[in-house]
Amino acid sequence: MNSYGLGGKIFPIVGYINKYNNWDFNFGINKSKHLNNNQILELDKYGWEIGSHGFFHHPYTDMTSKEILNDLSYSKKYLEDLLSKEVKSFAVPFNIYNPIIFDLILESGYKVIFFNSFYKSDYVPHIDYLVQRKPIFKITSLKSIKNYFNGEKNNFTDKMIQFCANATIGLKHLLY
C-alpha cells in the first residue's frame, strides 16, 4: 500500500500481539499469528494509524462496565507506551455495540469509534465520533474491496467472517 501512497488503519488486539489467533473458533481457517511489536512500529513509521481493538477481544455486551473500562484502558496504555504517542481510535470487538459501550469508550480517552455496519443489522448511528469501517483480512480479495467501494455490501467473505464471529460468541457462551 505504501508504494501506492496509501496508508491504513490497524486495530491490534493487544493481548494477542505476537500470538496465534486462538481467541475465536474459526474452524481451522485462520492459523495466523497476530502482529508483533516491531510490525506495529513499522506500520506506524509508514503513516498507518494504530488504534485498539481491546485487550482480550471479548464481546463488551457480556462484560460489566468496570471490566470494559479495564480492557479499554489496558489496551490504550500498552499501545501508547509502545508508540510513544496518543492512541485515538478504537474498533469495537465483535462489532456488538450500544450507546453505553460508546460512552465507556469515550470515557477511556478514545476520540473515534470504528464499527462495521454488517453485524446483525444495517443500523448505522449518525454520531460525529463514529466511523463505519471495512475490515480487510488475509482472505479478502481485491474484487471484494472494489465491490465494497462500489456500494456492494455483505459479500461472501464478510458473511463468512461474521459467521465465524457469531459462532465464537455462541460457542463461548455454551462452553464457558
Give pLDDT tens digits for 14-62: 999 998 876 665 556 666 788 999 999 999 999 999 999 999 888 888 8
Q: How far apart are CA 115 and CA 93, in angstroms?
A: 9
Q: How far apart are CA 133 and CA 45, in angstroms?
A: 22
Residue 63 structural domain? 2-175
Give pLDDT tens digits for 66-92: 999 999 999 999 999 999 999 999 998
What is the CATH classification number for the domain harbouring 106?
3.20.20.370
Percent above pLDDT 90 for the chain: 37
SS3 121: coil
Cell numbers of 148, please?
Answer: 465494497
Instruction: Kindly state the helix (H) or strand (E) to which residue 114 belongs, with its residue range.
Output: strand 112-115
* The model scores a pTM over 0.85: no
Total domains in the fold of the chain: 1
Do residues 52 and 89 lie in contact, with contact meaning Cβ atoms separated by under 8 Å?
A: yes
